[in-house]
A and B are shown apart, each in its own frame.
Chain A
Amino acid sequence: MTAVTDVSEPQGMTWTAVCAEQAVVPGGGVAALLPDDQQVAVFRTVDDEFFALSNIDPFCGAAVLSRGILGDSEGVPFVASPMLKQRFDLRTGSCLDDDSVAVAGYPVRLRDGIVHVGSP
């Protein structure tokens, strides 16, 4: 993994190149490790939008969100945890089934076919 510091987009972000675009299949997700051992889940919707959330399911503590099923509910794109099926908004990380809970979201950008995840 390579970490690059970028000054253009959100200030002070560390961008980590995690994988090639085609390593994430449309409608699927992968897990990646950030330099500080944070685990992120990177998703690609069937419309080819990329999102990243913390990989850790806050309800059970396991690092599994990248293995969840993607979908949408009334237009909101989500991932459903494979553990107990709670859904998280891909854009914000907030849980659709319990509005007191959310997971951290990470910015994602594509550069030359490579997926980069930003962390503060």
Chain B
Amino acid sequence: MVPSPGVPKTLVVVGNGMVGHRLVEAVRAEDTGGSWRVVVLAEEPRPTYDRVALSSYADSWDASGLELDRADYAGDDLVELRLGDAVTVVDTERRTVTTGSGHEQAYDALVFATGSRPFVPPVTGHDLPGCFVYRTIEDLDAIRAAAEHSASVRGRRAGMVVGGGLLGLEAAKALRDMGLSPHVVEMAPRLMPLQIDDGGGALLRRLVADLDVTVHTGTSTERIERDGDRMFAKLGNGTELDVDLVVFSAGVRPRDDLARAHGLAVAERGGILVDSSCRTAVPDVYAIGECAAVEGRCYGLVAPGYSMAEIVAAQLLGRDGTFPGADLSTKLKLLGVDVASFGDVHASTEGALEVVVNDAVSGTYKKLVVSDDAKTLLGGVLVGDASDYNLLRPLVGRALPAEPASILAPSGGAEGGVGVDALPDEAQICSCNAVSKGAINEAILAKGCDTVASIKGRTNAGTGCGSCVPMLSKLLDSCGVEQSTAVCEHFSQSRAELFEIVHATRITTFSELISRHGTGKGCAICKPAVASILATLAPLIGTPNHILSGEQATLQDTNDRYLANLQRGGTYSVVPRIPGGEITPEKLMVIAEVARDFGLYTKITGGQRIDLFGATVDQLPLIWRRLVDAGMESGHAYGKALRTVKSCVGSTWCRYGVQDSVGMAIELELRYRGLRSPHKIKAGVSGCARECAEARGKDFGVIATENGWNLHVGGNGGAMPRHAQLLASDLDSETLIRTIDRFLMFYVRTADRLQRTAPWIEEMEGGLGHLRAVIMEDSLGICDDLDAAMAKHVGDYADEWRGVLEDPEKLSRFSSFVNAPGAPDPTISFRTEREQKVPVLLGVPEVVSR
């Protein structure tokens, strides 16, 4: 129905999941004339969120990370969102719906977007306390509360997940993140029975077993019992599990009950029956998303739901829309293991052939399903390394560009000739948002998009799960758009290239480097970047090894130039190193006396040490003289360098500790102190899996095990928090340190300017697997070099502050005014707050306007 201009008609959307939200967005984006008013009636207590990413909630327990854009429709008068009030009655005669709270709402068009509910098999005991499902933020909160309760009463132990599909494995990951050892019980003979085949399932099982997930396949769950705080589950194969809680994740069922109860037809296997335009048999009533059975078939993924939302929006606005069918391909990272499947996974097409490469050593399984003449790609499965997925999926149903076996060969993607160029224009690059290669190329060539960000803005590609983003940048390349990796206008090279140039040519000054390899005089971007490279390579190429020597001083950002952090107001802070957070009372007293004598504001930092704020430039050497004399040294809080290695108290004192985490943290901090790097480096060492040192939030995090140490890499806090990923398990101390040496040196050599370890690993071709190969298996043959470089660094380390105090020339630079040393800066003044001095905020002076 097409509304006429004038009074808006009312569209009622039942359900505010991802698909219902997409419908509202699509209608509001296009309905500029305001012909529809939208009322959204939602059962959940909070605005829609990213359910696809639900498991990441267990990383941070911060629900804001799941927020979707414009979820509260703020500022849009034509959308009304009623939360926490489910629709209970639908009257299609009177064209009204009524909610549980009694609110009645008339509609001109009604859309069901009620999603699915988790299916809980009718096992005896399935409704006991301690049994959960896995679909909403509230479900995860409940699971977490139970896990914490059981940790408090009996020490955290194990959890059971019923269902070994995609969601079951996600649930297992969430349990593991909560500190429980997960058991996954699957009826089918393999994990992820729908998406992958036996070979892939077997490998996946092995890989997840390495991650402390115990898999029980080919067996049912017979009975669940509760005894006090414990739960016992009896499996069909006789196994008994003693667990803290049970999560059911055995599939979903469409929520068609409301529609069914009010006279709408449902499909044979459930789901509100709609035609290919998502219309029910009742005029102006539609169903979309997981609750809809389009021509009898339900879809449990978000992308098909989105296309249903788009076609209903089109019809409401007077256009046609038919469901194009769905691409059920999936690519995910389950517990850090890549899994992808696409097209005819099970080779059910007549005459289909399978080509399989099963590499047990590297832990990868790849299968292509091809037509009987081996010319057309029909589908495939990738486990362990899914990097070829983005190129293979769009080729389904098309001619293969090379022999199947050569495509599957290691790093086949490139060598086997499958590149973006091989894809036809209709190939879908972004499956979340159904954007074709043609549409993206048009955005690049006709609309002038020259960055991934601008393609996202114009086409929506890449704004869903993000897995197609690498393809977007490949398409930019293939359209001849150069995506600059240049450091700045003075150097066309990337930071990594400059590093290699300096390493190879042994140029030791910025002026020589820029005159030979750059243009102009430099700027505040390239100068500190080159200064950092010169400092890292100093022990190898013979740069004067103090960062303030000669010309180097003028390259440094103010923090490095004054070996202190600049604050608003222009004063500096002082942070002595406190390795591992361990400090003697004597040193604490010296810090206290210095703070008192110089009137410094004192605060414990988030990095387990003490920051003294409010020092003026000329006070810095006097302060450091006292600290250095007491045996302390620079903490590099100012540098793009190692900051802290945080530790927990560990086995020396802690009841649970299994290794000496403090000792290890101190050893690591002293080893890597002073290493100049592309960005700051932080680390942590925990004495057991309770992880009190938050090591997984660090660039490298070490967690003690009974047998040694687990090493995690690529974590950070900041605006884009990341959990570090497991690189290697149960290392002895020597191997641990050698691996970290190589990790850091490889990072320092190849990362971009201001790129922390997480994005560095993410952007590395081959990701964590490649990193592991390079630094643990020496796949590039550079490990000796990395080891030697680190040994040089460790041997050549000297405290920077001591270096300043011993050199009158360097000392002379620490003065407030060149013509009035010691005169106080008249713009700096302090007041007192909570018994300490704090700066008086500066009134911003009048500026000369032009």
**Which A residues form the contact surface with B (CB < 8 A)?**
1, 16-19, 23-28, 30-33, 37, 39, 42, 45-47, 56, 58-64, 67-75, 77-78, 80, 82-83, 85, 87, 93-94, 99-104
Contact = CB atoms under 8 A, between A and B. Distances in A.
A72 B523 contact: yes
A69 B523 contact: yes
Interface string B631-657: 000000000000000000000000000
Nearest to A92: B850
B817 interface: yes
B358 interface: no
Contact of A71 (B523, B551, B558): B523
B553 A25 contact: yes
Contacts of B554: 25-28, 69-70
A62 B558 contact: no
B784 to A, nearest CB: 37
B844 A58 contact: yes
A69 B522 CA distance: 9
Interface residues of B, number: 42
B568 A62 contact: yes
A64 B84 CA distance: 54
B521 A100 contact: no
B560 to A, nearest CB: 10
Interface string B379-398: 00000000000000000000
Interface of B: 489-490, 511, 520-524, 527-528, 551, 553-559, 561-562, 566, 568-570, 816-820, 823, 825-828, 842-845, 847-850
Contacts of A83: 566, 568, 570
Given A33-B820, A69-B528, A80 B566 contact: no
Nearest to A79: B524
Contacts of A45: 521
Contacts of A99: 850
Given A1-B819, A61-B844, A71-B490, 16 more contacts: A24-B818, A25-B554, A26-B551, A27-B555, A33-B820, A39-B817, A39-B827, A62-B569, A63-B828, A67-B561, A70-B554, A71-B520, A82-B558, A101-B847, A102-B849, A104-B848
Contacts of B817: 30-33, 39
A56 B818 contact: no
16 contacts: A16-B819, A25-B551, A39-B825, A46-B521, A60-B842, A60-B844, A67-B561, A69-B528, A69-B555, A71-B520, A71-B524, A72-B522, A73-B523, A82-B558, A101-B847, A102-B850
Contacts of B561: 67
A101 B846 CA distance: 10
Contacts of A28: 553-554
A47 B850 CA distance: 28
Nearest to B570: A62
Given A1-B820, A62-B570, A69 B557 contact: yes
Contact of B848 (A25, A63, A102): A102
A100 B817 CA distance: 29
Given A1-B819, A33-B823, A62-B827, A56 B524 contact: no
Contacts of A70: 521, 554
Contact of B551 (A1, A27, A58): A27
A82 B849 CA distance: 21
Nearest to A98: B847
Given A39-B825, A63-B570, A73-B489, A80 B848 contact: no
Nearest to B567: A62
Nearest to B846: A58
Given A37-B826, A61-B845, A69 B527 contact: yes
A30 B553 CA distance: 13
A58 B847 contact: yes
Chain A to chain B: the 4 pairs with minimum beta-carbon distance, closest first: A61-B842, A82-B558, A71-B523, A62-B570
Contact of A19 (B556, B818, B848): B818
Contact of A59 (B523, B524, B825, B844): B844
A50 B558 CA distance: 20
B819 A19 contact: yes
Given A27-B554, A69-B557, A61 B827 contact: yes
B441 to A, nearest CB: 33
Contacts of B521: 45-47, 70-72, 77
Given A1-B819, A32-B819, A56-B827, A67 B850 contact: no
Given A26-B554, A82-B558, A64 B570 contact: yes
A111 B850 CA distance: 32
Contact of B566 (A16, A18, A64): A64
A54 to B, nearest CB: 9
Contacts of A67: 558, 561-562, 566
Contacts of A31: 816-818
A45 B522 CA distance: 11
